Structure 1
Amino acid sequence: MTHYLYAMPGSLYSGKARAYLRKQRIDFEERAPSHPRFDEARKSIGRWIIPVLETPDGRFIQDGSDIIAYGEAAGLARLPAYAGGPVQRLVGLIFELFGGEGMVRPAMHYRWNFDAENIPFLSQDFTGPMVLGGDAAARAESFAASSGRMRQAARIFGVNADSAPLIEASYAQFLKLFEAHLETQPYLLGGAPSLGDYGLFAPLHAHLARDPHPATLMKTTAWRVWRWVERMYAPNQDAGEYGEVAQALVEGDAVPDTVKALLSYVAEDYLPEVEAFMAFFNAAAGAPEVEAGAVIGGRPGQRVIGFTEFDWRGVKLTVGVFPYRVWLLQKVQDAFDAMAPADQARAAALMAETGLSRMVELKPVRRVERADNREVWGS
């Protein structure tokens, strides 16, 4: 029974869903958003957005996190993304949030600030799936429109001339830490991919391992990270350089020290933004006249509900506030709150050790839910 994935090769969020489907060996065919059937998906979801998975029974599921949840619930996963003990699952959720949202800044910087190397590739990569058989003028017009939108979006994520050198230093720090971890483990938590791997894969593949400039940077400074990107796209283990490795997570719900170092990096690099967007969201979320179930922002296409400012590595950044990020943060907090007391104590100790305690303390005053592929107000 075939699934259809509406996606694009260069799309950050498409890669997360595609890697999951490949790793689980789920039967699917990929379609470009220019496919006539995608118009039905767009109407169903209420906005133009990818990835979208069409199930064999004709349902449309938008968002990589929801696509993974569908695969797990339907029993389609041969290597479950939610595997491991409660602390390991919490770590996976943290890296799902950080990978897909916290690493958008370097992804956008390295895509749109190195035109001499990137544009010849991007101009084809963006228009190939969108302008089927189009002539050069049609492709140029399409790319001018889409690249203009994406350059504007980069500023929403805090990419500007002042932050650029700091983004590069921060990304170099991440590559060094992830490279060190991958010296002994083929995946984030052992011999099999977990949810955190799929979260990190989103930016590390589409932007940072495919676009020419950052791809060269990764290959020449973090070869093991580059191999991990290849491995995450392979339907088999693809970890021959590690010898015989069982396709399982680290035993005993343990978290390797090298992953703790990455968590400490998340606390330094992303927690200030989490604190800022949660303060903004909580100030905006108290309006009692907004009914539960209403689309946040009033319409499905409005993903940003405002802007907030915070200190990041010595500069002031202004970034958009996305309710979707609050939803992902809630997943971390819900997992922590649902733990048995002994497991929660171990998780709390890990969060304290890595500087991430605030991540489970910054609760929204009103929940964000996902309904009909949209972010809506909860109770």
Structure 2
Amino acid sequence: MNRSNIHRLYGITHSLYTGRARSYLIKNGTAFRELSSGHKSFKAEVLSESKLATIPVLVTPEGQVIRDGGAIIEHFEKSNSRRFTPSSPKQQIVSTLFDLIGTSGLLRPAMHYRWNYLDENGEFLHYHFLHSQPEHPEREAKSQYMMSKMQHAGRLFGVTEESAALVETVYIEFLDALNKHFSEYPYLLGWTPCIGDFGLIAPLYAHLGRDPAPLRIMQQRAVRVTRWVERMNRADQDALEFFNPGVSYLEDDRIPETLETVLKVLAEDLVPETQAAAEVINQWLVEHQPESGTLAQGSLGQSMYGMAQFSLRGQSISAVAQSYRFVVLQKLQQQYAQLEPAQQQDVTSLLQRCGLEALLATRLKRELGWSENQDIWL
């Protein structure tokens, strides 16, 4: 194959958000070469166009630079007849909901199981952080700095000694429920992945499905989830356990009860944190009145808008309020607004059963947009 026909994906193996984009490219059958963000070409050729030093970043054969996993996926969805976007109302909303859950709602367990189990994970993580950079005299020191920065980010996401036991309890309940769902279907909505699968693979691959400590838990307790993680990184359907598999999403816009159970577990954490984060960011918007076009995304490990305080099962948790959560939630709300009244009622009933209906009304005072590879305030 001619090299000019191959996309370049810049990321790192242990990156949560790179896993989302990588899985999509694999399932979409897109030829690509993956390069470390430490590769000399990233700073020399890509960073000026990607604007922010975050990953993943895709460079198309034509030279277009696309930063952010969601933007990379949208680039292909626009040109492939939205191959992985369900067209039926409830399934489309649930797909976007799992994209929200994967990219924002599971950051706490992802960070907890990576950074609070260093006896098991330490050598594994050191290898990957060290080898994500080229050889130079300060390589070790920079690796230690990046690991320390990520540990700090974990604390900002609400990973503390006080919250650790609760984070594990909720995660295990989620893992058990998801494992039961995957005993019936290979993907979230049936027989082919949806956008929600790609969102969910982000934390369940790089952190929870590769780091030694959480991988051990997943393999021992939730083998079907482990198989889904493997499946999401293969180009074919990879559903050999299912002897009469289908080829598409479930018929009649059906959402399995097993998936509703997963959502009920996740709702306990997702809803109060989202509501609290909205309050914090809305207060910031009132106080700062940013001009249209102002950058909305802060750097990892920084509290750009403030800390959101909320209660989970009677325990108080403090987590950084991030705007990206509302990029995906805004998309979900826009999809809901485009439905017919009867379809909206079906979606509302589903979300009510799962304890998620409050997400339809949880909004920021300003909409978010996308310009020159950056989230901006409109």
TM-score if structure 2 supplies the norm length? 0.94
Question: Counterpart amino acid of 2:19?
Answer: G
Tell me what 1:131 maps to.
Answer: 134
Instruction: Extract unaligned runs of 5+ from structure 1.
Output: none
Q: CA deviation at 1:311?
A: 1.1
Taking the aligned partners of 1:150 and 1:247, their CA distance within structure 2 comes to 40
1:41 aligns with 2:35: no
Q: Of 58, 62, 74, which residue of structure 1 is paired with 2:63?
A: 58
SS at match of 2:316: strand
Taking the aligned partners of 1:313 and 1:52, their CA distance within structure 2 comes to 38
Q: Which deviations, in whole Å up to 9, do the C-alpha atoms of 1:237-269 show, x marking residues without a partner?
A: 111001131220001111111111112122112
SS at match of 2:267: helix
Tell me what 1:101 maps to.
Answer: 104
Tell me what 1:87 maps to.
Answer: 90
SS at match of 1:322: coil
Relative distance call for 1:85 and 1:60 in structure 2 (3 A) is same
Question: Counterpart amino acid of 1:373?
Answer: N
Q: CA deviation at 1:323?
A: 1.2
Taking the aligned partners of 1:298 and 1:34, their CA distance within structure 2 comes to 21
4+ runs of 1 displaced by more than 4 Å? 297-303
The percentage of counterpart residues that share the same residue type is 36
1:346 aligns with 2:311: no
Question: Counterpart amino acid of 1:318?
Answer: S
> Which of 142-151 and 224-233 deviates more?
142-151
Tell me what 1:253 maps to.
Answer: 253
Q: Is contact 1:81–1:193 with CA below 8 Å preserved after alignment?
A: yes
Taking the aligned partners of 1:173 and 1:300, their CA distance within structure 2 comes to 28
Q: CA deviation at 1:138?
A: 4.5
1:282 aligns with 2:285: no
Taking the aligned partners of 1:297 and 1:113, their CA distance within structure 2 comes to 27
Q: CA deviation at 1:99?
A: 1.0
Tell me what 2:7 maps to.
Answer: 3
Q: Is contact 1:84–1:249 with CA below 8 Å preserved after alignment?
A: no
Q: Is contact 1:34–1:131 with CA below 8 Å preserved after alignment?
A: yes
Q: Of 14, 28, 31, which residue of structure 1 is paired with 2:18?
A: 14
Q: Is contact 1:97–1:199 with CA below 8 Å preserved after alignment?
A: yes
Q: CA deviation at 1:304?
A: 3.1
Q: CA deviation at 1:332?
A: 1.0
Tell me what 2:294 maps to.
Answer: 294
Q: CA deviation at 1:143?
A: 2.1
1:138-157 aligned at under 5 Å gives the runs 138-157=138-157
Q: Which deviations, in whole Å up to 9, do the C-alpha atoms of 1:264-312 show, x marking residues without a partner?
A: 1221121110010011122222358532112137999977322121112
Question: Counterpart amino acid of 1:343?
Answer: Q
Taking the aligned partners of 2:27 and 2:12, their CA distance within structure 1 comes to 18
Taking the aligned partners of 1:288 and 1:319, their CA distance within structure 2 comes to 21
Q: Which deviations, in whole Å up to 9, do the C-alpha atoms of 1:104-160 show, x marking residues without a partner?
A: 10000000111111011111111212134x5xx744323211111001000110000
- The count of aligned residue pairs is 373
SS at match of 1:277: helix
RMSD, matched Cα = 1.9
Q: Is contact 2:23–2:233 with CA below 8 Å preserved after alignment?
A: yes
Instruction: Extract unaligned runs of 5+ from structure 2.
Output: none
SS at match of 1:50: coil
TM-score if structure 1 supplies the norm length? 0.94
Q: Is contact 2:156–2:301 with CA below 8 Å preserved after alignment?
A: no
Q: Of 29, 36, 55, which residue of structure 2 is paired with 1:32?
A: 36
> Which of 300-309 and 336-345 deviates more?
300-309
Q: Is contact 1:46–1:301 with CA below 8 Å preserved after alignment?
A: no
Tell me what 1:326 maps to.
Answer: 326
Tell me what 2:264 maps to.
Answer: 264
Tell me what 1:209 maps to.
Answer: 209
Tell me what 1:360 maps to.
Answer: 360
SS at match of 1:58: coil
1:223 aligns with 2:228: no
